[in-house]
Amino acid sequence: MLEIINAQLRPNGEAFDHRFFDGGINVILGSNDSGKTNLCRFLTGLSSTASGEVLIDGESYSKIPKRRPVSLVVQDFVNYPLWTVEENINSPLRAQGDLKKKQISARTYELGELLGLTDYLKKYPAELSGGQQQRVALGRALAKNARIMILDEPFVNLDYKLRESLRTELKSLASNLDTTIIYSTMDPKEALAIADDVLLIHDYSFIQSGIPLEVYSRPVSILAADLMSDPRVNVFRSQKTLIEPSQILAVRPEHLRPAESLNKSASLIFELKIEHFENVGGETFVQGMADGSEWVMKTDEKIPLKIGNSIEVGVPRTEILKFGSQ
């Protein structure tokens, strides 16, 4: 079990405690420069600015980074170009110095099979695709047999389809390993797709943590809702929509729908004046003015759209996010 106590991600920062989900995928979610990488480095003992205590299975590792049963894969992954895939993967095993060649070979083949690389073990990194090279880096991290594997935005430099594929593989991989995986990302869709637990951070501070769907459904603040939404949530500005003057109401772009598809008696209905729209895959993003501010609707429904026109949209009242004054 991995736990941090009184962690400060920068000097004089806000301290927090957190216990990571054991044996599953823990996603650290935050925007750029939110402190994700520094938290990953803190867990490995490589941060010069973060402070606090790191406990692994009850043992403190705060002052002994070299002994930590932790492996790290970063976004700019590195493979040794003059070594074959096989040599790259088994380099940590060879460095141990206490394993026989047969043991190293067996473990390397096992990892190659797990990562779909058995046909490439004799090839060199330059002969592989970007996704295959990233798998080699993962294999080398797994070869250490570390209790904790930290992936700091590992797929950010890969194309969309490849990221989707590797995320699916990672989820499958996690179910076959006795390893706690820490995965940092800016993408809330990744958190919802692969995480057993999500930790939200912003400005080097803790915001919220929990089961992804629960954090998505019950964010503690507008900021937490924004971090779990892409695009950001829409905030009501008009006092006429508020039940109490001190309330802040918001709605996620994917919960906005054409009014004709809603039960109007159980929904909040208003007009959206279209300023821009774009089709991405099977989804349409509509940007415009509503309730006195810029709003975005994300929908998979086919609706007639024209810039400058207004359409009637709405949201079921059960899907409106409610917050106290912040």
Domains in the chain and their CATH numbers? Answer: 2-227 (3.40.50.300), 236-323 (2.40.50.140)
> Does residue 132 contact residue 120 with C-beta atoms inside 8 Å?
yes
Residue 203 — left, alpha, or beta (φ > 0 → left; ψ -120 to 50 → alpha)? left
Report, as an integer, the average pLDDT of 233-262: 81
- How are beta strands 59-60 and 16-19 bridged, if at all? unpaired
pLDDT in tens, 33-76: 999 999 999 999 889 899 999 999 998 887 665 578 888 888 77
Q: Which amino acid is at 11?
A: P
pTM summary value: 0.86
Q: pLDDT category, 98, cuts 50, 70, 90?
A: confident
Strand 59-60's sheet: what is its strand order?
A: 16-19, 2-8, 51-56, 59-60
pLDDT at 292: 84
Report, as an integer, the average pLDDT of 155-162: 72
